[in-house]
Chain A
Amino acid sequence: MIIEPLIAICIIIGLVFSALGIFGLIRFPDVYTRLHAETKATTFGSIFIGLAVILYALFRWDDAGEGISLAAHVLIGIIILMVTNATGSHAIARAAYKSGQKPDPSVTDALADVEP
């Protein structure tokens, strides 16, 4: 009985953080701050949707063995999502800086001394 509200809470957290990531993507002023909102919030949201699927597969699946298999697959998917999103956003930030975009509203820029 406690599983259904737990799954619903996980789905709601996932949707709220995904929505915040997308609104940050629309709202923030330059590419680096957009990357902040997008990488962190949508990854967190997708992880919580995956957690909801894991809970459902472990406790509410008809065939128990198949449910455990599905949960393991989703767990591997979540780990891959975390590693690849972090590395990919690093690559995009580096490429944006190399292509000549400076952080537009910015307090300090330590990289400008090293890479003009």
Chain B
Amino acid sequence: MILLFPEPFEICVLVLAVLILVALYRLVAGPTSPDRVVALDAINTLVVGIMFALGVIFRENIFVDVAILYAVLSFIGTIYYAWYIGGRYT
């Protein structure tokens, strides 16, 4: 069984990009603001997965470093949205 690598990673990036477009529906339509934050969180996780795969496609370590930073910064963003919606922890 011969697979032409890294083409499977390119397919992976393509499918994840389509999934991000599907999640954008919930981001735009979601009836309340917590729904929108949930959709944003899902998009952030998928973007981290895409960056892992892009590191293989372009043969660059820097994509994975950016993915780590993106994960941490998106977490901080999620925490701030949670403060904005529900008030700070006491």
List residues of A whose CB falls within 8 A of some B CB.
1, 4-5, 7-8, 11, 14-15, 18-19, 21-23, 25-26, 31, 34-35, 38-39, 42-43, 45-46, 49-50, 52-53, 56-57, 60, 66, 69-70, 73-74, 76-77, 80-81, 84-85, 87-89, 91-92, 94-99, 101
Q: How many A-B residue pairs have CB under 8 A?
A: 164
In the docked arrangement, what's the CA distance between A19 and B75, Å?
A: 22
In the docked arrangement, what's the CA distance between A31 and B67, Å?
A: 27
How many chain B residues touch A (Cβ–Cβ < 8 Å)?
A: 51
The DSSP consensus for interface residues of chain B is helix
Known contacts A22-B22, A91-B78, A92-B37: A77-B8 contact under CB 8 Å? no
B67–A77 contact, CB under 8 A? yes
Known contacts A91-B82, A92-B37, A99-B86: A74-B3 contact under CB 8 Å? no
Residues of B within 8 A of A15 (CB): 12, 15-16
